[in-house]
Amino acid sequence: MTTDTHRMLRLEVRNAATPIEDKPEWMKNTAHMGENFTQMKKLARGKGLHTVCEEAGCPNVYECWQDREATFLIGGDTCTRRCDFCDIATGRPALMDILEPRKVAESVRELGLRYATVTSVARDDLADGGAWLNAETVRAIHTINPSTGVEILVPDFKGDPDAIGQVIDAKPEVFAHNLETVARIIGEIRPAFSYEGSLNVLSQAKQGGMIVKSNLILGMGETDAEVYEAMCDLYDAGCDILTLTQYLRPSPRFRPVDRWVKPKQFVELAQQANEIGFLGVMAGPMVRSSYRAGRLWARAMKKAGREIPAHLAHIADEGSALQEASALLTRQHH
């Protein structure tokens, strides 16, 4: 057993000493099953298609699928790194499936998606960190589905400019890499990542002409002042789109929830982010980094004064965003 494995087990034992927390009232979600959702669910089941939305039990699947947006996980179901908030298995991954990009692209076509988010496990076992797989998946989706927008959420590729450049060259609509937390505690929560390293990935993507996106998870031990500092650092690194989310503990093995951030606080943080200058902000306790991603991309493009390509104009239609903190507050007051 390696030193890292021993450290991981000690951490999980310590975490498990704290029982799973009760969720506050505003974290409880109501499902609304529209016609598109029902069609997509039937298709996904019938074709054996795999989306993160269903497999991770995302509470927003009803709303996103109704607007024909979905998220796919590539690179397998095992990550070479462990983060203390993420329940994807850590270990030695299976061999890379070189047919996976085509399979994902065909799934996008089967589901009739307007916008697809693709996220990858870290693949430190591969020489390029999985860069080819990420880039090829973007290319395959665009080739088979020319009217579908693609957002790619990548690991840090250890900051390798060649790997990052491969993904940029594939021309996704959005290049995303999630910072997730603040400088003081990132070493505890994401020991295989670094704060400056993640900011550097975003800067490289910005220099490559990308619309750049990142995420911060709240409730893991950060302060409001540190969140503001992280938002400023993200903006300075070239981040255009920011999502702010509430940490939900997957099981007792993971980091206990430090605080439940109220919808009103999320509204205030979103206002701060807009004042800092982000082109698109989505904040709320039930928001996830890929939530309403197409709508957020279109919002950022408009604010930047960039023309939305004609073949993607349909994404700019304003869909709902029920989990935005401002919408939650409005519903609470009715």
Per the annotation, binding residues for [4Fe-4S] cluster are 53, 58, 64, 79, 83, 86, 290
Residue 67 CA, chain-centre distance (Å), reads: 18
The two tokens of residue 72 are 């796919």
DSSP state of 124: T
Q: What angle do CA 258, 264, 266 make, to 5 degrees?
A: 60
Phi/psi at 264 (5° precision): -60, -40
Please, are residues 328 and 284 in contact by the beta-carbon 8 Å criterion? yes
Please, are residues 157 and 128 in contact by the beta-carbon 8 Å criterion? yes
Beta bridge partners of 241: 213, 280
Q: What angle do CA 159, 287, 72 make, to 5 degrees?
A: 55
CA distance 140 to 107: 11
Identify which of 174, 112, 88, 177 has the alpha carbon closest to the alpha carbon of residue 138: 174
Phi/psi at 248 (5° precision): -120, 125
- Give the number of other CB atoms < 10 A from CB of residue 27: 14
Please, are residues 174 and 203 in contact by the beta-carbon 8 Å criterion? no
Phi/psi at 179 (5° precision): -70, -40
DSSP state of 188: H
Please, are residues 294 and 149 in contact by the beta-carbon 8 Å criterion? yes
Q: Which residue has the tokens 């029902």?
A: 38
